[in-house]
Structure 1
Amino acid sequence: MPIAPTGGGRRPPRRGRVRNLALAAASAALTVPLLTVPSDAARTTAPRTGFELSGGARWTTQAEEASLLAALARRGDRVSVRRIGTTAQGRPLRLVRLGSTEPDALTVLLVCGQHGDEPAAREACLSTVRDLAHATDARTRAFLARTEVLVVPTANPDGLAAGTRGNGDGVDVNRDHIALRSAEARALAGVLRDHEPDVIEDLHEYGATVPYYDKDLLVLWPRNPNTDERLHDEAHDLAVDRVRPAALDAGFSTGVYGVWTDPDTGRPVRRTAGDGQERILRNVAGLKHAVVLLVESRTDALSAEERADPALNDRRRVASQLVALKALFRYADERRAGIAAATAHSRAAGSDDAGPVVLGGADDEAPAPGDTLTDPPCGYRLTKEQFARVRDELALHAVTSRPDGDGVYVPLRQPARKLIPLLLDGRAAYHLTNGQPDTAC
């Protein structure tokens, strides 16, 4: 398949320099600031994660997480923590909110650890929540005054407890954002519907494939071809022009997720992941009008020092995630007007009810013949029985319908226009039900 240029700005530093700087960053990983350095007083009074208390020798337990979040929630109206769901094994799914509650505030959502065996992302989120809650500097306070920050610190508690990619039922949560069969995906869908985040970072980790796929930090944007062009460009620029240069400046090598790169020429060889399928959070969130960033830190030990000291490896992983978060916040603060315009344009485009809808492909891969609805239907009719099976999922996807005889009618003229055929057209790969297209527009 054709591979689009990966971009990425400047030429990466020499490998030795990258490793030396990465090791230095890892040793300081527990104090990486977000916007500016927290005050000494804030550091003294702020609770610490289990990862920090152990010097990176172990991951924060879920009991420690609960204690930390409870302590932060006692700070008053600056932080709130609420339960947004319960896993199959009875563990809570929590949403942390910090910052502004004004209706015109920019909303940033962090989704941390959808895969239970990728714990560094979660650690970065927990320390980020703490640092924002205890920040005293003027710049961070100003950022929070005009920004709502939402964090799901542990998006897969059962998988984390078991050390598995999937949840307690073996479901890959990050492949469940269309069907919404899992409690974890349903909780996240509810957050997207109720809070309508403008910017989302989805934090993950990956194992390297040397020598083609072995960067310290990988990034990606929504590749689904139905993503609004302005949103796509904002997300691409965030990944390529903001996060990658920030990672390079911090001494981390970077690349594009899912793309193998020739180590001698630096040119892309093939794409092995990171496609446009709509059931992945990165893609469905783009269809729900958000600027989305995927970040993946590398789990493999990178040096003899890391092999001898696993804690050094873990601190490097968390440090790279924190660098990406810092770049994301600065982007959100500096580009808030452009972001708001892009998200508003995406929502309005659905109500305009114009243009094709694509059932396959990606931003760098043409759809298969027959996968483009050049003249999409006006809507889809569902029988009473069909609607009973999918009504909850449609509601979580913010899809509206109206009564139609013994069933319901789902019009395309609404903000979810580009998503609806992916949910209800029998030709879509992950459709919920086979609705009857209405072509008598």
Structure 2
Amino acid sequence: MRPRLRTALLSVTATALALPLLTAPASQASSATAPPRTGFETSAGARWTTQPEEQRFLAAVDRASDRVAMSTIGTTKQGRPLQLVTIGTGRHTRTTVLLICSQHGDEPSGREACLTTVRDLAYTRDAGTRRFLSRTTVLVVPTANPDGRAADTRTNADGVDVNRDHIALKTAEGRALAAVLRDHRPDVVYDLHEYDATPPYYDKALLSLWPRNLNTHARVHDEAHALSESYVRPAAERAGFTSGVYGIWTDPATGEPLKQVAGDGQERILRNTAGIKHSVGLLVETRVTPLTDEEKRDTAVNNRRRVTTQLTALDGLMRYVDERRGRIEAATTAARLAGLGDRGPVHLGGADNDPAEPAEVIQDPPCAYRLSPAQYADVGDELALHGVRVTPPDGGDNSVRVPLRQSARALVPLLLDARAAYHLTAGEPMTAC
């Protein structure tokens, strides 16, 4: 039996916020102390949770539940902590799920959904959900861009879009997330965002998209597609929300695609980076633009609908994990082992709906890239954060080799080949290793 991931849905026309617990009402909580509430909840959606409120909320959850652990994974330019919440009850869980919340600071609904999800998993007494947690580790970065959230800006304090920094790793936020991907090797990476609608062509309540990058292993790609199309979108639609594919304008009369405006295969975007790193990645976007006249009149109603849409999509994610964990594990394991065979092309461009041009394909990749001591001094930390293996200095010149025969095989040329769009440095291709 799968866990009861919601007991009720919040009506978008409600005048007071009553976000349901993920599994069980507060009266059934595992602690005698009443579960904490976010600033968003206590204000009935009239405002977003402040960062001091977030810290108090998470500290209270951590104290109350022995299935929760908190850690600091970095510090922003302005001194705010980047935090990771780990939730689980089993020592040897099979599946790891990572939620990345509000990489863009002006997209707060995902953060609110993540905060209440942390609490609801921590406090649940529902047998199905506890069984789910005995087999699943849920990792949550509640605020992936704290400086941007404080300023209500898309970018971080340096003006950098964190969701374009998952290759270069120039930001504290990007580096922290890369370390989490490397150290925890999540099977699923779920990235929560928001978007502004363009009616009538691009105006669904929820949009989602899998990794389109062509270096994503086929089995991982197919699992991510199933997560989107068979679980997340249907969960939203069962709750009464419209859904679509991120980046695709559709004809309002026929539903047929008209053009693509976003959602390509750039490796520096998290959903694509996750796929290249052998996780089932998914981007989820909820609509900021009001859907009804009531939402136009009352910002709180709009805010509540945005958060509730995120919560219903999260239900789809959890159902997916519970029902397909065997397939997920098989796909991510196959992907992680594939690079050890050191076979096949590496794609520098294209997407699953946009075939790469011949010049964008390395048909016969080198066996390694050689880095000079100066190059390695410049990018060695980034390679380590990416989990890329290097060999000791080669010969008298103290150069370093980065072999392709490793789990991160497809990532290596994206980082080190001069032809790659976002390469860190131009390594020397080696044909004899």
Whether these two folds match at TM > 0.5 is yes
2:383 alignment counterpart:
394
Question: Offset of 1:29 from its aligned partner?
Answer: 6.4
| Secondary structure of 1:410 counterpart | strand
Query: Which 5+ residue runs of structure 2 have no aligned equivalent?
Result: 1-7
Question: Does 2:193 align with 1:204?
Answer: yes
Q: TM-score, normalised by structure 1?
A: 0.93
Cα distance, 1:349–1:123 mapped onto 2, change above 3 Å: same
Corresponding letter in the other structure for 1:47: P
Equivalent residue, structure 1, for 2:272: 283
- 8 Å contact 2:10–2:18 — kept in the other structure? no
Aligned to 2:28: 41
Superposed CA offset, 1:221-255 (max 9, x none):
00000100000000001100111111111000000
> Once the 2 structures are TM-superposed, how far is the Cα of residue 390 of structure 1 from its aligned partner?
0.3
Cross-structure match for 2:11: 24
Deviation, 1:333, is 1.1
For residue 11 of structure 2, give the secondary structure of its aligned residue in structure 1.
helix
Asked if residue 425 in structure 1 is aligned to residue 392 in structure 2, the reply is no
1:112 aligns with 2:104: no
- Note if contact 2:76-2:82 (Cα within 8 Å) is conserved in structure 1: yes
Q: Does residue 371 of the first structure (1) align with residue 377 of the second (2)? A: no
Shift of 1:318: 0.1
- CA separation of 1:38/1:105 partners in 2, compared to 1, >3 Å: closer, same or farther? farther
SS of equivalent residue, structure 1 residue 74: helix
Q: Do the aligned residues in 1 keep the contact of 2:97 with 2:188 (CA within 8 Å)? A: yes
Q: In angstroms, what is the RMSD of aligned CA positions?
A: 1.6
User: Can you list the C-alpha shifts for 1:396-424, whole angstroms capped at 9, x where unaligned?
Assistant: 00001012131100000000001110000
TM-score between both structures, scaled by the size of structure 2: 0.94
Q: Percent identity?
A: 63
Query: Runs of at least 4 residues of structure 1 off by over 4 A?
Result: none
Higher relative contact order (CA 8 A, sep 6+): 1
The one-letter amino acid of 1:362's match is A
Within 2, Cα distance between the matches of 1:342 and 1:99?
22
Pair 1:73–1:33, CA change in 2 (3 A): closer
Match for residue 406 of structure 2 among 414, 417, 427: 414
In the TM superposition, what are the counterparts of 1:319-330 in structure 2 within 5 Å?
A: 319-330=308-319
Trace 1:302-381 onto structure 2 (pairs within 5 A). Answer: 302-381=291-370
**Structure 1 residue 302: deviation in Å?**
1.1
How do residues 208-227 of structure 1 correspond to structure 2 at under 5 angstroms? Answer: 208-227=197-216
C-alpha distance in structure 1 between counterparts of 2:347 and 2:263, whole Å: 17
Shift of 1:319: 0.2
Q: Does 1:434 align with 2:426?
A: yes
Distance across 2 between alignment mates of 1:100 and 1:429 = 42
Q: Secondary structure at the match of 1:332?
A: helix
Deviates more, 1:36-45 or 1:302-311: 36-45
Counterpart in 1 of 2:4? none
How far, CA to CA, are the matches of 2:13 and 2:358 in structure 1? Answer: 48
Does the 8 Å contact 2:379/2:425 carry over to 1?
A: yes
Could you give the per-residue CA deviations for residues 188-209 of structure 1, whole angstroms, max 9, x where no partner exists?
0000000000011100000001
- In structure 2, the CA distance between the partners of 1:412 and 1:103, relative to structure 1 (3 Å rule), is farther
Q: Secondary structure at the match of 1:295?
A: strand
Structure 2 counterparts to residues 101-250 of structure 1, below 5 A:
102-250=91-239
**CA contact 2:234–2:316 (8 Å) conserved in 1:** no
Distance 2:421 2:294 in 1: 46
Q: CA deviation at 1:211?
A: 1.2
In 2, Cα distance between equivalents of 1:228 and 1:88: 35
* Kept after mapping to 2: 8 A contact 1:93/1:187: yes
The answer (yes or no) to whether the contact 2:118–2:140 under 8 Å persists in 1 is yes
CA contact (8 A) 1:106 1:336 kept: yes
Task: State how far apart, in whole Å, the 1-side matches of 2:103 and 2:129 are.
Answer: 27
The answer to whether the 8 A contact 1:26-1:319 is kept is no
1:362-387 Cα shifts (integer Å, max 9, x gaps): 01101123111111110100000000
